[in-house]
Amino acid sequence: MNENIDVYVNGQKINLYRAMKVKHALIAYDQSLYKAALAGGVRIEDENGFTIGLEGSLADGAKIFTIATG
């Protein structure tokens, strides 16, 4: 089994270790975006439009998007 997975944040491919969470993908993509999510200025959605939390699990090929809330 491969120890890494590829996920997509706003269309950009991010390589992470398996079992990492949404917050890790955001940090790898843009740490300031992660901080904005912590402060409530950004909502995170999956490819189906469902809101997911920073502690959400990720599968290989997952697509997440950030939506400004302010």
Q: How far apart are CA 29 and CA 12, in angstroms?
A: 8
pLDDT tens-place string over residues 4-63: 999 999 999 999 999 999 999 999 999 999 999 999 999 999 999 999 999 999 999 999
CATH number at residue 20: 3.10.20.90
Total number of domains in the chain = 1
CA distances from 35 to 24, 27, 55, 59, 61 (A): 12, 9, 14, 23, 24
Q: Which residues contact 60 (CB under 8 A, 6 or more apart)?
A: 5, 6, 7, 18
Q: Read off the pLDDT band of 2 (50, 70, 90).
A: confident
Predicted model pTM: 0.92
In which domain, by residue range, is 13 found?
4-68
Going across the sheet that includes 12-17, the strands are 12-17, 4-9, 63-68, 42-46
